Amino acid sequence: MTLSALAVPALIVAGVVAMSSIFIVDEREKGLVLRLGRVVDVQEEPGLGIKVPFLDNVVKYDDRILGLPTSPLEVTPLDDRRLVVDAFARWRITDPVRFRQAVGTGGIQAAQGRLEPIVNAAIREVLGAVPSTTVLSDDRTALMNQIRDEARNNSSGLGVEIIDVRLTRTDLPEQNLNATYARMRAERQREAADEIARGGEAAQRVRAAADRTVVELTSEAQKRAEIVRGEADAERNAIYADAFGRDPEFFAFTRSMTSYSRALRGENSSIVMQPDGEFFTYLRDDGASRANPSPTPVPARNAQPAAGADAAAAGGDEGEDLVTPTVTDREGNPLGESAGVKLTPVPESLATPPEQPSAVVPPAEAPAAAGTDADAEAGAEAGAGDGGEAPAN
């Protein structure tokens, strides 16, 4: 009974001692066995480890790749243009014994505090030897590799390896950034003003060309309208002359009736004149006794039509072909071409005839005999009027 009572505590003590002498290292860790603060064993492989219970102590470090974000750092490149740089470094523990000796009991936090100045110094050294345009360019791989190599050489005594260094941000300082933005805005505003000025100039040229085309087209239309109006007046006068030639008395009668309708409108106007005046001739007598119609009936529109009248519009069987007039401006370009305007085709008789060069007749030589210049001119005019040339003496 006494032995069984002592066996239970002995088993418990043996279990505690066994548990104290065994430790486990994860695959993501590295372990150091310390005896009274001195490294006696290194456990880099994952699994179980043995230590002296109550005497040895086990310290574990992360074996994975760790990150180190640096605080914003102001550097001065080769062209003395200050820049603010943010970097990010990745590192891992390669020698846990040297790492323990370098950082002591601080561990990972102490190591990051030691590595950040090393990385910052490497950034200043590398970026200070190149111009700012190289730092701000898109291809900065060579610079980041130089920073990594420099920081790796300076941190080799810590038992760590810097795997990579990346520049996350390179920008101007706040006081310089506002001035740079203001300069960029001024440059963009100047370019916008130049574009607006060029657009206004082009618009003004288009408006000037359009106004010029409008004036030319209006002038040409007015000229053609005057031509048509003149031809219509000529045809009207021919019709009047034809009617007057048929019976002058009837023509006078119709004109008097027109005058009566225009003068006697029944409005507020008043006419004071003698009733036996000439104006009221056809109110007293219809003029039938004075009528003298033509013995031979004259067909309607017997008068010669005006030059350039449209035969198809007047009822003729044959019509004229439509032609597009060729009219040029002062520079010899077709009218309306610059504005995309085409002239309307008109009958061939209304088209503007081409200008013919005037035949310049050289003046006749002065006669050798005595005579005045007036006699010579009179003789030339007499000869031209008879259809012949001026007689040469």
The conformational region for residue 63 under phi > 0 = left, psi -120 to 50 = alpha, else beta, is: alpha
How many residues in the chain? 393
Delineate the domains of the chain, giving CATH numbers in brackets.
Answer: 18-62 (no CATH), 66-177 (3.30.479.30)
Beta-bridge partner residues of 49: 23
Closest by CA position to 96, among listed 136, 149, 40, 53: 40
Burial (CB < 10 A; 0-12, 13-18, 19+), residue 40, is: middle
**Mean pLDDT score across all residues of the chain:** 75
The answer, yes or no, to whether residue 308 has pLDDT greater than 90, is no
* pLDDT tens digit sequence for 90-136: 999 998 888 988 888 888 889 999 999 999 999 999 998 888 888 88
Question: What is the C-alpha separation between 86 and 168, in angstroms, rounded?
Answer: 5
Q: What is the pLDDT of residue 335?
A: 60
| Maximum C-alpha span of the chain | 188
Q: Using one digit for the tens of pLDDT, what is the confidence trace for 46-97?
A: 878 888 787 878 888 888 999 999 888 888 888 888 888 889 999 999 988 8
DSSP lists the bridge partners of residue 310 as none
| pLDDT for 90 | 93
pTM: 0.44
Q: How confident is the model at residue 198 (pLDDT cuts 50, 70, 90)?
A: very high
Helix or strand or coil: residue 188? helix
Whole-Å CA distances, 282 to 240, 265, 392? 20, 18, 62
| ∠ CA 261-265-269, rounded to 5° | 130
The structure tokens listed for 318 are 């044959």
**pLDDT at residue 376 in the model:** 38
Q: Give tens-digit pLDDT for 319-346.
A: 556 666 666 666 677 765 555 556 666 5
When computed from its CA atoms, the radius of gyration of the chain, rounded to whole angstroms, is: 59
Angle at 126 between CA 120 and CA 129, to 5 degrees: 135
